[in-house]
Amino acid sequence: MKFPEGFVWGAASSGPQSEGNFNKIHQNVFDYWYATEPGEFFQGVGPDLTSNFYNDYPNDLQLMKKAGIKALRLSIQWSRLIQDFETGTVNQAGADFYRRLFATMKATGIEPYVTLFHFDMPADLQHQYGGWQSKHVVSLFEKYAKEAFKLYGNQINHWFTFNEPKVILDGQYLYQFHYPKIVDGPSAVQVAFNINLASAKAIAAFHQINTNVGATIGMILNLTPAYAASEKPCDKEAARIAELWTNDLFLQPAIRGTFPSSLVDLLKSDHVLWNATGAELDLIANNQIDELGVNYYHPFRVEAPDVSPKSLQDWMPDIYFKEYQMPGRIENVDRGWEIYPKALYDIAISIKERFGNIPWFVSENGMGVSREDRFMDDYGMVHDDYRIDFMHDHLVELFRGIKAGSNCHGYFAWTAIDNWSWKNAYRNRYGLIRNNIHTQEKTLKKSAYWFNQLSHQNILPPTNFKLP
């Protein structure tokens, strides 16, 4: 299986999960949450050190190079780059750090793919205004984005506004796995709109400011195709609404500039539709992404809810669908996620057929496994054949999608070096490179050698891959 010429083999990470808090002047919501409720995090491990990327990036980048990583997706932390959120004044130490980092990446031959927002709302903006519930925060985000474009426009060719907006809704406003753990369906609806608006505003600013010819701006969405548990009409109806809510709510505004009309109708008749002005809708209509990043880990199987949505209950999106665990599924038991590579083919075809075959790439895919020292040999190398198999099987499906004409131009593994996974901290390891978090010693796993061969040959290595 030979991938197309110029196919990008990369890895993804984020600022809050890798940098550590060194020299930061503001807390983001995770810093704040850890400072106030450390017991919420696996083994009490917080975001203060993470993988020490702030100090160790020259060494880390060299290791990534050995793993064949030619592009690295990372994120700027709003709470590091900006001194005064209201005016957008830059914090010089933060600005210097990212400039040095991007320059070192260039010198190392690793292309930066930069995300502006990866779950890391500044804590002050959450507390003062309610974070993404507030349109004032949307305008502050635009100021931050403008500064980032001005500072790094000449260094960056691939920008992204948001990582996984759906997870922001789920974590902060619906299912309580990110601070401030609010449960409020109608607020989640407004947040969904505000994030789409913030993304469009950043895209508009990019078009005004950017002078780097050929630079593009996109968005990273976690797509979880919704599959009905059965052919029964009620299950199919649940899947239809789940697809609209989880995927199309972000895909359609980003790519076509409109919201799915049947979802809008449903929210309207439930009296929970967002507040939006005509000018805001025009802005969304006029500012689309150039490329789409797709994070894919697991499918979303759904069945009809236990009780009718007409029952008296507080409005939540999942009054319309219930998650369904398919008996006999293959599961990553450490994460509780079904492993279903074929969804990547379905995503490829859906982008081709429903979304104008926009240029896209897999911006995250990978497998988190706990207690990986189980698989370590006497020399300290982790033999992570399960990770190789996981990526292999997903790439087989992706390849089929590309052969069928889908416009996919890259695959980024999550992640390069084991990093801090929010509440789960360092429980599940995702890296091609191991991080001993007690010593911060970093060593290649077997999958790094596999990925290196893949990236250099642009051909999927055989399943019985042997270490060189």
Shortest CB 118 distance to ligand FCB, Å: 6
List the structure tokens of 176.
């309580």
From the candidates 291, 364, 372, 397, which is the catalytic residue? Answer: 364
Angle at Cα 408 formed by Cα 261 and Cα 397, nearest 5°? 95
Which phi and psi angles does 441 have, rounded to 5°? Answer: -85, 130
Backbone angles phi, psi at 19, to 5 degrees: -65, -45
Q: In sequence order, which residues have a C-beta less than 8 Å from that of residue 181 and are 6 or more positions away?
A: 172
C-alpha 435, offset from chain centre = 21
Counting Cα atoms < 13 Å in the Cβ hemisphere of 164 gives 20
Binding to ligand FCB (CB under 6 A): which residues in 177-236? 222
Between 22 and 337, name the residue whose CB sits nearer to ligand FCB: 337
Closest to ligand FCB by CB, 294 vs 402, is 294
Q: Of the two residues 424 and 458, which places its CB atom closer to ligand FCB in the complex? A: 424
Cβ at position 361, least distance to ligand FCB in Å: 15
Active-site residue, 37 included: no
| Cβ proximity to ligand FCB, 135 vs 298, nearer residue | 298
Strands 216-222 and 226-228 come out as unpaired
Q: Which is nearer to ligand FCB, 29 or 266 (CB)?
A: 29
Short-list 51, 60, 208, 197, CA closest to 138: 197
Of 19, 147, 164, 372, which is the active-site residue?
164
Minimum CB–partner distance for residue 121 and ligand FCB (Å): 14
Q: Is 282 helix (H, G, I), strand (E, B) or coil?
A: helix
81: left (phi over 0), alpha (psi -120 to 50) or beta: alpha
Nearer to ligand FCB, 17 or 126 (CB): 17
Tell me if 331 sits within 8 A of 397, measured CB to CB.
no
Chain length of the chain: 468
Q: How do 89-90 and 331-332 pair as beta strands? A: unpaired
**Which of positions 292-321 make contact with ligand FCB (CB under 6 A)?**
295
CB of 221 to ligand FCB, least distance (A): 10
Q: Select 224 or 350, whichever has its Cβ closest to ligand FCB.
A: 224
Q: Cβ of residue 420: shortest distance to ligand FCB, in angstroms?
A: 9
Compose the 413-432 pattern: x for residues touching ligand FCB by CB under 6 A, - for all others: -x------xx-------x--
**Strand, coil or helix: 225:** coil
Helix, strand, coil shares, percent, the chain, to 5: 45, 20, 35
- Which residues between 130 and 169 bind ligand FCB (CB under 6 A)? 163-164, 167
Q: Which residues of 26-60 are buried (b: 16+ CB within 10 A; e: fewer)?
A: bbbbbbbbbeeeeebbeeebbbebbbbbbebbeeb
Closest separation in Å from C-beta 466 to ligand FCB:
29
Residues 1-30 that bind ligand FCB (CB under 6 A): 14, 17
CB of 362 to ligand FCB, least distance (A): 12
267 and 275 Cβ atoms separated by less than 8 Å: no
- The size of the interface with ligand FCB (CB under 6 A), counted in residues, is 13
Query: Shortest Cβ distance from residue 363 to ligand FCB (Å)?
Result: 9
Using DSSP, state whether 360 is helix, strand or coil. Answer: strand
Q: Residue 419 Cβ, how far from ligand FCB at the closest point, in Å?
A: 8
Structure tokens, 342: 């074929």
- Tell me the C-alpha distance between 398 and 394, whole Å: 6
Q: Is 156 or 221 the residue whose CB approaches ligand FCB more closely?
A: 221
Q: Which of 120, 235, 243, 364 binds ligand FCB (CB under 6 A)?
A: 364
Nearer to ligand FCB, 97 or 414 (CB): 414
Catalytic site residue 164?
Answer: yes
Told to check if 455 binds ligand FCB by CB under 6 A, we report: no
Buried b (16+ CB within 10 A) or exposed e, 210-234: beeeebbbbbbbbbbbbbbbeeeee
Give me the helix-helix angle, 185-209 and 135-152, nearest 10°: 30
Which residues in this chain contact ligand FCB in the complex, by CB under 6 A?
14, 17, 163-164, 167, 222, 295, 364, 368, 414, 421-422, 430
Please list the active-site residues. 164, 364
